[in-house]
Amino acid sequence: MAQFSALLQPGRIGSLELRNRIIMSAMGTALADEKGRATERMVAYYAARARGGAALITPQFAAVSRDSAFAYTLPLFDDRHIAEWRKIADAVHQAGARFSIQLMHVGLILLYSGVVPEGASILVPSMASWMGQDRPYRELSEPDIERYIGDYVAAAARARAAGADMVELHACHGCLASSFLSPLINRRRDSYGGSVENRSRFARRIVEGIKRELGRGFPLSVRINGSDGIKGGTTPDEAEQQARILEAAGADAISISGGLEFWSTLSVPSYPYPEGPMVPMAETVRKGVRVPVIVAGKLSAEAADRAISEGKADFVAMGRPLLADPELPAKIREGRLDDLRRCIYCNNCLKSATDAAAGPMSCTVNPFVAREARYPLKPAGKARDIMVVGGGLAGMEMAMYLTERGHRVSLYEREKELGGQWNIACALPGKAGYAALTDYLKRWLARHGVKITLGTTVTGEMVLEKKPEAVVVATGAFPVGLPVPGVDLPHVIQGHDFIAGKAEAKGRVVVVGGRFIGMEVAIWLKEQGKDVTIVTRAGLGEDGIKLEEFTFKTLADRIVDLGIPMFLNSTVLEITDSAVVIPMKNRFFRIPADTVILSVGMRSENRLAAELEGSGIEVHLVGDCVRPRDAADVSYQAARLAASI
Ligand SMILES: Cc1cc2nc3c(=O)[nH]c(=O)nc-3n(C[C@H](O)[C@H](O)[C@H](O)COP(=O)(O)OP(=O)(O)OC[C@H]3O[C@@H](n4cnc5c(N)ncnc54)[C@H](O)[C@@H]3O)c2cc1C
Ligand SMILES: Cc1cc2nc3c(=O)[nH]c(=O)nc-3n(C[C@H](O)[C@H](O)[C@H](O)COP(=O)(O)O)c2cc1C
Ligand code: SF4
């Protein structure tokens, strides 16, 4: 059988014919305007994924009730919202895909968003001791339940009026319908709590209501958790029972996801997770129902094809892979795998997606996500000779976009290999997949004949000699030390050097720094059976810009599971031959250490930029040499700068 033939075969959900088995899963964005209207940017973002070949596009969730609406999203609790959704529906249809709207009441997901809008309550099926007084939890009464079921049904009717070919009931991740399903959260004692039949009643009645209102022929899927990902929560076997109840109520497909966003990290599995963690759950559920089963979660095109060809699921719901490359379906159909921008599951998108204040969503491997109108870049008015110094992500991407615009680019790198810090990142366990990005960039540069000089440290003098029409400085950043006595002792090494295999960790190890790299190094050492302790001057993951929550929690949970000792809020005072010294109350405390690994931040490498100042040459700076940052930010800055030269 040809590769991807299972994934690319047509399929059907109820009466809805789909051109292949790829569904774009619902992903919250902050692309609507402040009044909750669809923006051109939002419409273009979905249209691009429809043009790229996905069979069914499910945009961001639609809030079914006024008290569930988030800022900068499209709600569906009033008829006036229909016209906004129709703009997306029309664009998706014109681009050849079908269109589904996901209906949601946020419920406990408000905890993940961290912001409870003024006057709103966090709706729950039942109160629990962990629900603190500091937040406005509210247990639903039976009249409330009736009212909210009515809201879902009314929103489904609006979805159809807006042009939806299908609706999806969001009943996973801890939203209202999902918290009723979860044995961990739902402790009601009435007919909506207790047995699996009772806990399914809220979702079941919504399904029945929608079917009654829209007719049995209107397709409806229900997205449930194959596992809550936490002890005492929904298990795959229980999910199979829930699925059977929902199928009997009229669901035309069961979509399997997982996790409770505020507790467990399965809903958006980042790089530490294995591929396809929810496929076994879908397989269990599929044994119990006759309707198609959809599965999501960290599925490459190859893994998605396997899940379908092996009969573990009927459709895949892809999220991030379609952010990374909207043309994924078309590229796999045409055998253009070398051209595929593969998602690396870094979760940088998640950090930006739901925060309008942070600017539009960004993606490490695709800086044009949510900026579709800006791609392809316009050809340069005049082709120029441009020297790019530094072959890390920033330099490689600059070289690619400048070449794409028609400039003549020469790229210089000090090391014998392109990649810069990214190569170190790839050496971490779990991050080997990150190499897909540098591999893609290397292939592109080679294919387009970009002149690359390796093993050459560029100086100001060299630039003046070569006389380029412009120079792009992309010299990156280097790890900093600590301003304490003992930092130069031979057993004090940098995390970067340890990861890159340039320095060894012997005996008892103290890792100084509690952000991602410190956490990752400590986990790696502990998994090798080493004695390791973390010391950090703030809380774990604090001290600096906010870390992406899902990846942070995944790593933090692992640290706790492995029992790695941590000294939090502890500033290192001194490093001796055999210990790291920290303050404790009014005393000093010695943590024994044969090796000390520093992971305490980065500083921009801008010597070349300083040398070129006042030289009369046009100089541009990009990437970590401007300020250390995450890779999505590097990509975005490179694309924006390249468009302006
Ligand atoms: C272990 C690790 C894990 C990471 N994990 C993540 C992650 O999960 N997610 C994320 O978003 N980011 C991550 N990062 C950060 C990310 O790798 C960087 O933000 C990004 O790679 C910076 O790219 P850059 O091109 O600006 O700089 P660099 O990668 O530092 O590249 C600069 C390049 O310039 C070269 N150079 C310097 N001076 C000269 C000169 N004079 N002449 C010629 N060449 C020169 C250097 O050799 C280097 O190759 C991680 C970084 C590390 C080290
Ligand atoms: C930015 C972002 C927002 C998301 N918002 C939603 C949502 O509103 N509803 C939902 O059911 N899932 C949401 N998800 C989960 C995705 O639909 C998907 O199930 C998850 O990302 C795993 O699939 P993937 O590995 O293909 O990305 C979101 C994921 C991301 C990355
Ligand atoms: S930001 Fe990272 S996780 Fe998100 S789509 Fe892009 S590559 Fe994938």
CA–CA dist 87, 84 (Å, integer): 5
**DSSP type of residue 99:** E
Residue 471 has what pLDDT?
98
Mean pLDDT along residues 368-374: 93
**587-634 pLDDT tens trace:** 999 999 999 999 999 999 999 999 999 999 999 999 999 999 999 999
**212-249 pLDDT tens trace:** 999 999 999 999 999 999 999 999 999 999 999 999 99
Whether residue 32 has pLDDT greater than 90: yes
Strands 574-575 and 579-584: antiparallel
Q: Contact at 8 Å (CB) between 112 and 261?
A: yes
State the number of CA atoms in the 13 A half-sphere of 412 facing the CB. 18
CA–CA dist 244, 53 (Å, integer): 31
Sequential DSSP letters for 240-309: HHHHHHHHHHT-SEEEEEE-BTTT--TTS--TTSPS-TTHHHHHHHHTT-SS-EEEESS--HHHHHHHHH
Q: Contact at 8 Å (CB) between 283 and 313?
A: yes
Q: Contact at 8 Å (CB) between 499 and 493?
A: no
Q: Contact at 8 Å (CB) between 69 and 57?
A: no
Whether residue 552 has pLDDT greater than 80: yes
- Structural domains in the chain, sorted by start: 5-373 (3.20.20.70), 377-479+603-644 (3.40.50.720), 492-600 (3.50.50.60)
Whether residue 329 has pLDDT greater than 70: yes
Residue 571 has what pLDDT?
96
Whether residue 360 has pLDDT greater than 90: no
Mean pLDDT along residues 434-452: 98
Q: Cis peptide leading into 376, omega within 30 of 0? A: yes
Query: What is the number of the ligand 3 atom nearest to the C-alpha of 362?
Result: 1
Task: Enumerate residues lining ligand 1, CB below 6 A.
Answer: 346, 348, 364, 389-395, 412-415, 420-422, 424-425, 428, 457-458, 474-477, 496, 499, 517, 605, 608, 623-624, 629-632, 634
Residue 585 has what pLDDT?
86
Query: 478 vs 290, 496, 497, 603, CA distance in Å?
Result: 56, 9, 11, 6
**44-102 pLDDT tens trace:** 999 999 999 999 999 999 999 999 988 889 999 999 999 999 999 999 999 999 999 99
**CA angle 298-303-306, nearest 5°?**
145
pLDDT-based confidence at residue 192 (cuts at 50, 70, 90): very high
Ligand 3 within 6 A of 361 CB? no
State the number of CA atoms in the 13 A half-sphere of 418 facing the CB. 27
Q: At what angle do helices 435-447 and 393-404 cross, to 10 degrees?
A: 40
CA–CA dist 179, 175 (Å, integer): 6
Whether residue 413 has pLDDT greater than 90: yes
Residue 356 has what pLDDT?
67
Q: Measured in angstroms, how far is the CA atom of residue 418 from the centroid of ligand 1?
A: 10
Whether residue 642 has pLDDT greater than 80: yes
Of 214, 224, 217, nearest in space to 245 by CA: 224
End-to-end distance of the chain based on CA atoms, in angstroms?
47
Q: What is the pTM of this model?
A: 0.97
CA–CA dist 199, 429 (Å, integer): 40
In sign, the C-alpha dihedral spanning 142, 143, 145, 150 is positive
**507-541 pLDDT tens trace:** 999 999 999 999 999 999 999 999 999 999 999 99
State the number of CA atoms in the 13 A half-sphere of 49 facing the CB. 32
CA–CA dist 179, 157 (Å, integer): 24
Give the 3-state secondary structure of residue 90: helix
pLDDT-based confidence at residue 112 (cuts at 50, 70, 90): confident
Length in residues, the chain: 645
Query: 379 vs 375, 440, 482, 619, 638, CA distance in Å?
Result: 11, 22, 46, 20, 16
> Using CA positions, which residue lies closest to atom 20 of ligand 2?
268
CA–CA dist 14, 4 (Å, integer): 23
Q: Residues with Cβ < 8 Å from 251, sequence gap 6 or more?
A: 169, 207, 220, 221, 222, 243, 291
Q: Contact at 8 Å (CB) between 272 and 554?
A: yes
Q: What is the 3-state secondary structure (H, E, C) of 308-356?
A: HHCCCCCEEEECHHHHHCCCHHHHHHCCCHHHCCCCCCCCHHHHHHCCH
Residue 545 has what pLDDT?
86
**CA angle 69-72-75, nearest 5°?**
40
Residue 1 has what pLDDT?
58
Q: Measured in angstroms, how far is the CA atom of residue 631 from the centroid of ligand 1?
A: 9
**DSSP type of residue 140:** P
pLDDT-based confidence at residue 168 (cuts at 50, 70, 90): very high
Which of 356-365, 436-445, 498-507, 509-518 is least confident?
A: 356-365
> Using CA positions, which residue lies closest to atom 5 of ligand 3?
320
**DSSP type of residue 419:** B
CA–CA dist 289, 285 (Å, integer): 7
Q: Measured in angstroms, how far is the CA atom of residue 323 from the centroid of ligand 2?
A: 11
Which residues, in sequence order, are bridge partners of residue 12? 17
Q: Where are the beta strands (DSSP E) in 16-126?
A: 16-18, 22-24, 56-57, 62-63, 98-104, 122-124
pLDDT-based confidence at residue 363 (cuts at 50, 70, 90): very high
CA–CA dist 295, 257 (Å, integer): 7
Of 249, 293, 263, 258, nearest in space to 277 by CA: 258
State the number of CA atoms in the 13 A half-sphere of 314 facing the CB. 20
Ligand 3 within 6 A of 300 CB? no
Q: List the strands of the sheet with 574-575, edge to edge.
A: 574-575, 579-584, 587-592
Task: Enumerate residues lining ligand 2, CB below 6 A.
Answer: 25-28, 60-61, 102, 170, 223, 257, 267-268, 296-299, 317-321, 349-350, 353
Name the more confident of 119 and 240: 240
Which of 104-108, 287-291, 513-517, 542-546 is least confident?
A: 542-546
